């Protein structure tokens, strides 16, 4: 399984914001710092705001920052929010779909994948947590 670039950049954005602590950053600042197109980063940030990982403030002095502390953000939850329709195979196109149990096993594998990722928080992957 390979994560999309969208999810990869979402995780990078969270790590960058965790480095800033309570300080807000603008999309433009982070886009330039991380060499990411501003429009793409804006969509990612919007998705993270809607998922509850970021808070955004408009206007002068505004910007984005983490809505939760890094030790409250589980990596599996971020991946699940960014990859809501994670299909390993497209069974609807297969003629064997009525007698095949592969989708059930792949679903279990995806659940296990998310469970392992949820053992780690943003703080853990940054090396600032005691629960490594």
Q: Would you state the pLDDT for residue 128? A: 64
Range of the domain at 46: 5-126
Distance between CA atoms of residues 8 and 122, nearest Å: 13
Distance between CA atoms of residues 65 and 120, nearest Å: 20
Q: What is the pLDDT of residues 104-128, one digit of tens each?
A: 888 888 889 989 999 999 999 987 6
100 within some domain: yes
63 within some domain: yes
60 within some domain: yes
131 within some domain: no
45 within some domain: yes
CATH number where 83 lies: 1.10.10.10
Mapped onto helix, strand or coil, the DSSP state of residue 63 is strand
The total of structural domains in the chain comes to 1
Task: For residues 73-99, give the mean pLDDT.
Answer: 82
132 within some domain: no
Residue 131 has pLDDT above 90, yes or no: no
Q: What is the pLDDT of residues 29-73, one digit of tens each?
A: 999 998 989 999 999 999 999 999 999 998 888 899 999 999 999
Residue 130 has pLDDT above 70, yes or no: no
Residue 27 has, within 13 A of its CA and on its CB side, a CA count of 19
Distance between CA atoms of residues 47 and 81, nearest Å: 8
Under DSSP, the state recorded for 27 is: H
Look at the alpha carbons of 37, 39, 43, 48 in this order and tell me if their dihedral is positive or negative.
Answer: positive
The widest CA-to-CA distance across the chain, in whole angstroms, is 59
Between 130 and 110, the more confident residue is 110
Q: Would you state the pLDDT for residue 103? A: 79
Residues 53, 82, 116, 103: what is their CA dihedral angle, to the nearest 10 degrees?
150
């Amino acid at each position: 399984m390979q994560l999309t670039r969208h999810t990869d950049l979402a995780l990078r954005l969270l790590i960058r914001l965790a480095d800033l602590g309570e300080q807000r950053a603008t999309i433009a600042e982070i886009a330039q710092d991380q060499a990411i197109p501003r429009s793409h980063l804006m969509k990612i940030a919007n998705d993270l705001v809607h998922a509850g990982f970021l808070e955004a403030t408009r206007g002068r002095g505004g910007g984005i920052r983490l809505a939760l502390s890094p030790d409250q953000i589980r990596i599996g939850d971020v991946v699940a929010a960014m990859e809501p329709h994670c299909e390993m195979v497209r069974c609807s196109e297969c003629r064997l779909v009525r007698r095949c149990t592969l989708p059930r096993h792949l679903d279990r594998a995806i659940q296990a994948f998310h469970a392992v990722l949820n053992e780690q928080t943003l703080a853990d992957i940054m090396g600032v947590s005691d629960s490594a």
